[in-house]
Amino acid sequence: MNLGIIGNGAREHSLCFKLLKSNKVNKIFCIPGNAGTNDIAENVDINVLDFENIYDFVKKNNIQMLIVGPEAPLVHGIVDFFEDKDIKIFGPNLKASQLEGSKLFMKNICKKFNIPTANFEEVKTLVDAEKFLNSSKFPVVVKSDGLAAGKGVTICENKDQALKDIKEIINGKFKSSKKVFLEEFLEGEEASFFVITDGVNFKSIGTAQDHKRIGEGDKGLNTGGMGAYSPSYLINPDIEKKIIDKIIKPTISGMNKIGCPYKGILYAGIVLKNNEPKLIEYNIRFGDPECQVLMMRLKNDLLDLIESTFDGSLKNKDIKWTEEPCITVVAASKGYPKEFEKNMEIKNVKDLKLNDKVQLFHAATFLDEKGLIRNNGGRVFSSTVMDSSLKIARKKALETLDFIDWKNKYYRKDIAFRIIDK
Ligand code: AMP
Ligand code: GLY
């Protein structure tokens, strides 16, 4: 089968790496891909939101299935577009994508189907907001309704800060939405829980933990994710059962009840306190960098699992994992998530010795006209290693990043510190 993978991050590189192990896969096209996917798939330089041009390419190259990595094309209706044209595409449709595309939609699903989550209140004016804040306990979480590239959530320690953030959102700080709501701050540790679903049946497809802050010790600004590991040490069988019974099942059945079945990968961001899970957020896709560690640990043929969501056989599948844990450490351009330099040459990448357990997944890399690797974004590599312990795996992942010769590389050396360094 010829596959098209939509996206250009380390998540999509790891999806290509995993899918190429399937003997059902003939060729992968990565739309648009990066310097890493260029080595194992064919990159296609089309914007992920340019559905018409993707369609032309799909027809000309006999692509039989599309798999979507990032949220933006899903929220813009890529699944509806290709389903209308009878092309198989894996992911939720426009309506179901609101679980990530509209935080208020997700909160209202929780309310309607009794799913444990933080209490919240939508505020339409600053007067309303002030009234709410006068009787609130701080910190209070201010959230913008729409997609905001990870910048739509702020944890506010006082009323003035909250009012300033609310005003900015109401005044149009984010293109996606002017709607804003306030949320109770949930204390506890966070974990990521993934399921694959055909709209009715689902299977758990792994647990992970990521480190979102830029600095060691989980300090500093929020990022897309500076590293992750799998499995999550927080989720034992008892907690997994609670997450499934209280959060996943009511969501999947609830989405059916409101006439919008959810198909694809569903990623629940969970906070745990006193062994009770609450839902912080839903994402409608694999996480990045969580996908990288899941793809190394998953023993099943991923294409076989994805196909089973189309033919009704998902319920018969048994998902198998390696015993060994896996870690990924992200290397970013120095300065990220603020300003950083682009187009810097990156050397030594081709000299790395990589194998099934040691991979350097690329994110914001491209090849210049001379074939040299350069950076064109914030998160640039995801050094991913599976080994007998997280400690050994982290050591090896850091060795890979040390070996790369790139003036502005920055990475945390403490990923998984809560387990390794405790
Ligand atoms: P989101 O954009 O919804 O993924 O939120 C980003 C991050 O903000 C989450 O991963 C949490 O770390 C934090 N966060 C969001 N909502 C809350 C909350 N109600 N209480 C505590 N932390 C939160
Ligand atoms: N690692 C967080 C995300 O993919 O949203």
- 97 in any annotated domain: no
Q: How far apart are CA 118 and CA 386, in angstroms?
A: 35
Query: Which residue has the least CA distance to atom 4 on ligand 2?
Result: 287
- 106 in any annotated domain: no
Same domain, 367 and 402: yes
- 101 in any annotated domain: no
| Strand arrangement of the beta sheet that strand 365-367 belongs to | 345-346, 373-375, 365-367
Contacts of 124 (CB under 8 A, 6+ apart): none
Q: Give the pLDDT of residue 105.
A: 97
pTM for the whole structure: 0.96
Residues with CB under 6 A from ligand 1: 118, 141, 152-153, 183-186, 190, 269, 280-281
Same domain, 227 and 171: no
Q: Which ligand is nearest to the CA of 382?
A: 2
Q: Give the pLDDT of residue 77.
A: 98
Ligand 1 center–CA 280 separation, angstroms = 6
Question: Domain range for residue 366?
Answer: 326-420
Contacts of 127 (CB under 8 A, 6+ apart): none
Q: Give the pLDDT of residue 176.
A: 84
Query: Which residue has the least CA distance to atom 9 on ligand 1?
Result: 280
Q: Comparing C-alpha atoms, which of 104, 116, 95, 92 is closest to residue 147? A: 104
Q: Give the pLDDT of residue 381.
A: 98
Residue 387 belongs to domain with CATH number: 3.90.600.10
For 81-234, strand residue ranges (E) read: 88-90, 120-123, 140-144, 153-156, 180-184, 189-197, 202-210, 213-215, 219-222, 227-230
- 6 by DSSP, 3-state: which? strand
Q: Give the pLDDT of residue 175.
A: 85
Hey, what amino acid is at 155?
Answer: I
Report the run of H or E that residue 175 belongs to, with start and end. none
Same domain, 225 and 130: no
Count the neighbouring beta carbons within 10 Å of the beta carbon of residue 338.
8
Q: Give the pLDDT of residue 398.
A: 98
Q: Which ligand is nearest to the CA of 224?
A: 2
Q: Give the pLDDT of residue 20.
A: 98
Give the chain's residues under pLDDT 50.
Answer: none
Residues with CB under 6 A from ligand 2: 210, 225, 283, 287-288, 290
Same domain, 18 and 54: yes
Same domain, 334 and 294: no
The four Cα atoms 193, 17, 49, 166 give a dihedral, to 10 degrees, of 30
- 194 in any annotated domain: yes
Same domain, 156 and 232: no
Q: Give the pLDDT of residue 30.
A: 98
Same domain, 16 and 59: yes
Same domain, 22 and 85: yes
Atom of ligand 2 at shortest range from CA of 288? 4
Same domain, 63 and 36: yes
Q: How far is CA 392 from the centre of its chain?
A: 25
C-alpha atoms less than 13 angstroms from C-alpha of 92 in its C-beta half-sphere: 31
Q: Give the pLDDT of residue 421.
A: 85
Which residue, of 153, 184, 215, is where some domain finishes? 184
Query: Which residue has the least CA distance to atom 15 on ligand 1?
Result: 280
The secondary structure of 173-205 as a DSSP string is SSTT---EEEEEPPPSEEEEEEEEESSS-EEEE
Same domain, 193 and 306: yes
